[in-house]
Structure 1
Amino acid sequence: MTEDAKTRLVRLMKETIAHSTQHVKAGGIPFTAMVVDRDGTVLGRGTNTVTAMNDPTAHAEVEAIRDACRAKRTSYLPGAVLLASGEPCAMCYMNALHAGIAEIHYAVDRDEAAGMGFDYRFTYSLFAQDPQTWHTPSVGRLEVPGAIAPFEEFHALRTSRQ
């Protein structure tokens, strides 16, 4: 008997949650993730290592996507599925989008996470605003002569190959 897609996702999410529990017991926080293909083959795993790695981008979802990309030797994962113990923040959603992730599933939503001390809900509305209107960090263009040159060179090389 073959495993149907929903049963497979539930099984894989349970595995993600078990990894989350292990991470908490080891002194980490409860954010873990995995990237799988449509057949359920694990392509990458990640845990939140922001503090351990002194890297503010080392969220579990980003780490799982990085791991999957390294394993597949690509920066694009079309059709892949991201499973996360907690709902991704805006940065993680953007990473998934840029990586071509087809589906995202999470076990604990943003409000439940906030109730446990992880309130990152502000990140969603922040990305709805023009960065130049943000209070912090201050964002603005710094004009430098020739700044566009590498972009023009890349564009010329790319279009000459087509």
Structure 2
Amino acid sequence: MTDLQSTDERWMRRALALAERARDEDDEIPVGAVVVDADGNVVGEGWNRNIAECDPSAHAEIVAMRRAGAALGNHRLIGCTLYVTLEPCAMCAMAMVHARVARVVFGAFDPKTGAAGSVFDLLADPRHNHRVEVAGGVLADIAGPMLTAYFRARRGKGGA
């Protein structure tokens, strides 16, 4: 395992812990995100808060990027890597482009709405003035089953 792979797994495990908080504390879809600066410091964390905040934009990535921007005192997250347990959707992917995130590392692929290569490839689109490096499938063997179990349990309750 390379140093980069080891680092990616370390931060993905933190994102997975945040996803568990989303599920266990808020009964939200278990997605967690961590923003790490170029020096390896966590500058923002978040988990899905759509239901708790009655906010359709409160995805884990958006929450983490808002906190990172506040911590850095800048709307640009230059040199930062965003770790998230699920492939970003179109909204989150474009927020990363606008924030100039350097790299996104995600866990589970999203074959329905993934915008980092599964359905759309917004992060690599050459028409944008910034492209985000993508690494997918990191600890997908943990992130994927966590999401599957959540949705199975919700369907059993008559929910989503």
TM range, smaller chain: 0.5 to 0.7
Measure, in 2, the Cα distance between the counterparts of 1:20 and 1:41: 20
Measure, in 2, the Cα distance between the counterparts of 1:55 and 1:23: 15
Measure, in 1, the Cα distance between the counterparts of 2:83 and 2:6: 14
Kindly indicate whether the alpha-carbon contact (under 8 Å) linking 2:86 and 2:108 is maintained by their aligned counterparts in 1. yes
1:55 positional shift:
1.0
Give the aligned partner of residue 11 of structure 1. 10
User: Counterpart of 2:105 in 1: which secondary structure?
Assistant: strand
Measure, in 1, the Cα distance between the counterparts of 2:108 and 2:39: 23
After TM superposition, the structure 1 = structure 2 runs for residues 33-72 of structure 1, keeping only pairs within 5 Å, are 33-72=33-72
Measure, in 1, the Cα distance between the counterparts of 2:29 and 2:5: 27
Gaps of 5+ in 2: 126-160
Give the aligned partner of residue 78 of structure 1. 78
Question: What one-letter code is carried by the residue in structure 2 that aligns with 1:15?
Answer: R
The answer to which structure, 1 or 2, has the higher relative contact order (CA under 8 A, 6+ apart) is 2
1:120 positional shift:
3.0
Kindly indicate whether the alpha-carbon contact (under 8 Å) linking 1:84 and 1:105 is maintained by their aligned counterparts in 2. yes
After alignment, is 15-24 or 70-79 more displaced? 15-24
RMSD over aligned Cα, in angstroms?
Answer: 2.3
Give the aligned partner of residue 97 of structure 1. 97
113, 124, 130: which one aligns with 1:120: 113
Measure, in 2, the Cα distance between the counterparts of 1:10 and 1:121: 21
Measure, in 2, the Cα distance between the counterparts of 1:60 and 1:13: 13
Kindly indicate whether the alpha-carbon contact (under 8 Å) linking 1:23 and 1:29 is maintained by their aligned counterparts in 2. yes
1:24 positional shift:
1.1
Measure, in 1, the Cα distance between the counterparts of 2:3 and 2:105: 16
Gaps of 5+ in 1: 112-118, 129-162
Number of aligned positions between the proteins: 118
1:53 positional shift:
0.8
With structure 2 as the length reference, what TM-score do the two structures score? 0.67
Kindly indicate whether the alpha-carbon contact (under 8 Å) linking 1:13 and 1:85 is maintained by their aligned counterparts in 2. yes
In 2 relative to 1, CA 108–66 (structure 1 residues): closer, same or farther, beyond 3 Å? same
Tell me which stretches of 4 or more aligned residues in structure 1 moved more than 6 Å. Answer: none
1:121 positional shift:
4.8
Measure, in 1, the Cα distance between the counterparts of 2:36 and 2:81: 5
User: Counterpart of 1:96 in 2: which secondary structure?
Assistant: helix
Give the aligned partner of residue 148 of structure 1. none
